[in-house]
Structure 1
Amino acid sequence: MLITLGILIILLGIVTLVAKPIFKTSKLLQWFNPKRSLQIIGVGILMSVVTGTFFYAEPGTAYAVQYPWGGQKAVFRQGIHTKMWGRLIPIQFELPIKYVIPNSEGDLGEQSEYANVDAAKYWAFSDAVKARIATSVVISINTDDQTQFLSVADRNKTEKNLIRSRIIPNIDQSIKNTCKLMDAQDYISGQASDFDRYFKDQLENGMYVLEEYSAMENKEIIGDSTTVRTVVNKETKQKRFRIKIKNGQPIREEGNSLKAYGLTVVQAVVTEIDWETTFDKRLQLQKEEVAQTQLEKQQAEREFYRAQKEKARGEAEKAAERARLEKEQIQKTIAAETEAKVAEFNLVKEKKQFEVEKYKAQSKKVAADAEAYQNAKLVNAGLTPQERAEWDYKTSVGVARELKELRLPEIFIEGSDGKSNDNNLLESLIGADLAKQMMSNPKK
């Protein structure tokens, strides 16, 4: 721009310098004189020289400088650089390219001067469902290899031509191939990530070579080395495509890759899809069916958890009742064991008491036997018949009184050792006691 202006100024100075002597009476040329004409020519030359010799490189932009004598160089740093009246081909480091779905008024939204924005196109999936696919792609140029950059700039001339003739056709072909690999139903059923992966892989490494296969064939595995995807035929009359594989790797079209131009795909994603009306209606019906299924599933789960809750409550009540019964059982067991222990202790106590009373009775019997023997000896020694009769009477009266007052043990066990013919223990005790009393009161 400034170079052209400088050339025009130079031409103006030359014209005024030459025309002044010819048209001396012209009022238009009266202001110009040879000195001023030479000054105008000097300004034009200075402007042309300065603007043709130097240029300012903007940040984030690479420049290919092509000199008039045939040389060229690449400039990747911002600032002032020399161009020596050469031609500049500026190309951004990163080229944003977007397909946008227009609104109802046909507007593509807010645009950026650094982005290339176009309206999204309609593409047909494998099941013939059409949709407008909005994509966002960012392409990066190679700033490390000057030779390759200069070659790309020389072959494409301008950044816009590079985008229109190289990048956009690759984007369209990638979308087209990827749409052939899946149904629209597959896309909305969870294969959207596969779509993005196939899309970016083809942009960066080259287009897949697709082959049509028959519906009667077995399931085929397609995909790259990192992901496996199985395509299943759903309609016998529908054409199905798959990636042609050789040695486990996809076969790609030769010479159709952005990588050959030193371009790298930084981003390649599908941002939005506008399905055709018929498919939208089918999707709406599917959504309603799915919503109804989810509702019934939630109700079934609610009933299941309610049953689980009741079951848990019953188990809790059962556990509480079991604990109560076990507690009662333990209490009764402890009480019975205590009672048995007390009874056992009482039995031992009674046995000991009985042994004590038994030994006391034996002691009294021995003493009574001794006194009875002594009394019998006295009686046999000199009692008269009258004294014997009185003795018998008193003895019988004393026996009756003693029997009335006599206190015997509550428990008595009779036994013999088989070696003695002693009289009954009771008779012996009574006789001994009476004999003792008679000896203590002989006058009676």
Structure 2
Amino acid sequence: MLTFIGILIIMVGLITLLTKPIFKNNKLLSWFSTRRSLQITLIGIILSIVTGAFFYAEPGTAYAVQYPWGGQKAIFRQGIHTKMWGRLIPIQFELPIKYVIPNTAGELGEQSEYANVDKAKYWAFSDAVKARIATSVVISINTDNEGQFLSVADRNKTEQNMIRSRIIPNIDQSIKNTCKLMDAQDYISGQASDFDRYFKDQLENGMYVLEEYADNQTREIIGDSSTVRTIINKETKHKRFRIQIRNGEPVREKGNSLRAYGLTVIQAVVTEIDWEETFDKRLQLQKEEVAQTQLEKQQAEREFYRAQKEKARGEADKATERARLEKEQIQKTIAAETEAKVAEFNLVKEKKQFEVEKFKAMSKKVAADAESYQNAKLVSAGLTPQERAEWEYKTSVHVARELKDLSLPEIFIEGGNGKSNTDGNLLQSLIGADLAKKMMDSKTQK
């Protein structure tokens, strides 16, 4: 730029110097005196010399300087450097190259003076589905090897030529090869990361050598013989490719690598894919089908858990009913056991009561026998006439009352021949014994 300005100043000085004698009455040329025209011409010459001998290296840019006498050198540092009227080939340290999908208005979006932006192209995947693939690639030059950098700059002449003739063809070839390795359906099903990996690896290390194979052919044995035939479904047949492997490493095309130019791939990713309309419709149908499947799956899970809930509720009700019945059973069992225990206790009580009453009766019988025996002895011993008269009087007076209060034994056991006179004597003896007892008690009290 400064060189052009210097040449322009030299031309102005020379024109004014030559035209002034011709147009003597021109007011504009009258300002340019001969001395002033010579000064302007000298300034232009100095400016041209300075700008041809020196240049300013911008930051982030490498320069290859080619001198008129055939020498050359590389400049990697910013600042003022000499070029001695040599040719400059500036190349950025990092070269951003982008494929962009244009918007509805056909614009590529925001542009940068340091980035090379192009419209994304359509590429065909292995299943013949086409898509416009937007990529972002950043290439770095080798600033450590001066000789290699000068060789690249000398062969490519300009940065733009290197991008168009070396880098972009490699990017296109990498995208093409990578698209052959997978179907569009595979890409959207989880192989997008593989696409980026294959893409970057081919850019940096060289293109893969691909081999064609058929995966839709199945062998079938006919009958019980050893005849084998291959069945091909023509409707679904399409070419499939895979990477040719040798000694565990992919086979690559020779001489087709950015590394041979001292270029390193810093970034190589797919930023966006615009599928063709037919595939978009297919994707929409697949999304709807997946959504419907998910909905049915959720409904099935809901029904399953509802059945589990009802089953759990039934088990809970069953457990509650079982607990209630077991409680009633325990209550009834305890009541029956209690009733049995009470009956057993009452039986024991009755037995004890029976034994007590039995012993009471036996005691009364023994006491009655003793008193009867004593009274019999007293009667057989004889009484005086006065005692007999007193006994008969008391008997006549108190006989009714004594008979009323008389308590005879409930049980009386006696052996004998069972004659009637014996029964009468027995009754008399009992009455007499009781009266005698009363009399004895009265005497004792006197």
Give the TM-score of the pair, scaled to structure 1. Answer: 0.72
Amino acid at match of 2:166: R
Shift of 1:288: 4.6
In structure 1, C-alpha distance between the alignment counterparts of 2:372 and 2:158, rounded to whole Å: 158
Amino acid at match of 1:207: M
- Corresponding residue number in structure 1 for 2:315: 315
Shift of 1:55: 1.0
Long gaps (5+) in structure 1: 220-231, 409-421, 425-429
- Structure 1 348/83 Cα, relative in aligned 2: closer, same or farther at 3 Å? farther
Shift of 1:172: 0.8
In the TM superposition, what whole-angstrom CA distance separates every residue of 1:332-388 from its partner, at most 9, and x where no partner exists?
34444444555555555556555655665555555455445444544555589xx9x
Which of residues 402, 410, 420 in structure 1 aligns to 2:407?
402
- Corresponding residue number in structure 2 for 1:241: 241
In the TM superposition, what whole-angstrom CA distance separates every residue of 1:302-327 from its partner, at most 9, and x where no partner exists?
44444334333333332332333333
Confirm or deny: 8 A CA contact 1:133 1:273 kept in the other structure. yes
- Corresponding residue number in structure 1 for 2:130: 130
In structure 2, C-alpha distance between the alignment counterparts of 1:134 and 1:279, rounded to whole Å: 17
- Structure 1 353/182 Cα, relative in aligned 2: closer, same or farther at 3 Å? same
Amino acid at match of 1:72: K
Shift of 1:208: 1.1
- Corresponding residue number in structure 1 for 2:91: 91
Correspondence list, 1:40-439, <5 A: 40-48=40-48, 51=51, 52-58=53-59, 61-66=60-65, 68=67, 70-76=71-77, 80-85=79-84, 86-143=86-143, 145-146=145-146, 148-215=148-215, 237-343=237-343, 346=346, 364=364, 367-379=367-379, 381-382=381-382, 401-402=406-407, 437-439=434-436
Give the TM-score of the pair, scaled to structure 2. Answer: 0.71
- Corresponding residue number in structure 1 for 2:437: 440
3-state SS of 2:238 partner: coil
Confirm or deny: 8 A CA contact 1:138 1:267 kept in the other structure. yes
Confirm or deny: 8 A CA contact 1:23 1:29 kept in the other structure. no
In structure 2, C-alpha distance between the alignment counterparts of 1:351 and 1:157, rounded to whole Å: 136
Long gaps (5+) in structure 2: 220-231, 416-426
In structure 2, C-alpha distance between the alignment counterparts of 1:265 and 1:111, rounded to whole Å: 22
In the TM superposition, what whole-angstrom CA distance separates every residue of 1:244-285 from its partner, at most 9, and x where no partner exists?
112222212222223333433333333333333444444444
Q: Percent identity between the aligned chains?
A: 71
Amino acid at match of 1:107: E
Amino acid at match of 1:63: A
In the TM superposition, what whole-angstrom CA distance separates every residue of 1:208-257 from its partner, at most 9, and x where no partner exists?
110112447689xxxxxxxxxxxx99966422211111222221222222
In structure 2, C-alpha distance between the alignment counterparts of 1:139 and 1:65, rounded to whole Å: 18
Confirm or deny: 8 A CA contact 2:196 2:268 kept in the other structure. yes
- Structure 1 122/401 Cα, relative in aligned 2: closer, same or farther at 3 Å? same
3-state SS of 1:267 partner: strand
Confirm or deny: 8 A CA contact 2:216 2:237 kept in the other structure. no
- Corresponding residue number in structure 1 for 2:2: 2
Confirm or deny: 8 A CA contact 1:74 1:149 kept in the other structure. no
3-state SS of 1:118 partner: strand
3-state SS of 2:31 partner: coil
Shift of 1:153: 3.6
Shift of 1:117: 1.7
Confirm or deny: 8 A CA contact 2:6 2:45 kept in the other structure. yes
- Structure 1 185/24 Cα, relative in aligned 2: closer, same or farther at 3 Å? closer
- Structure 1 378/297 Cα, relative in aligned 2: closer, same or farther at 3 Å? same
Shift of 1:7: 3.4
In the TM superposition, what whole-angstrom CA distance separates every residue of 1:78-107 from its partner, at most 9, and x where no partner exists?
x53324445444333433322222344433
How many residue pairs were aligned?
400
Amino acid at match of 2:63: A
In the TM superposition, what whole-angstrom CA distance separates every residue of 1:174-226 from its partner, at most 9, and x where no partner exists?
1111111122333333333332332222223221110112447689xxxxxxx
- Corresponding residue number in structure 1 for 2:222: none
In structure 2, C-alpha distance between the alignment counterparts of 1:73 and 1:275, rounded to whole Å: 45
Shift of 1:141: 3.6
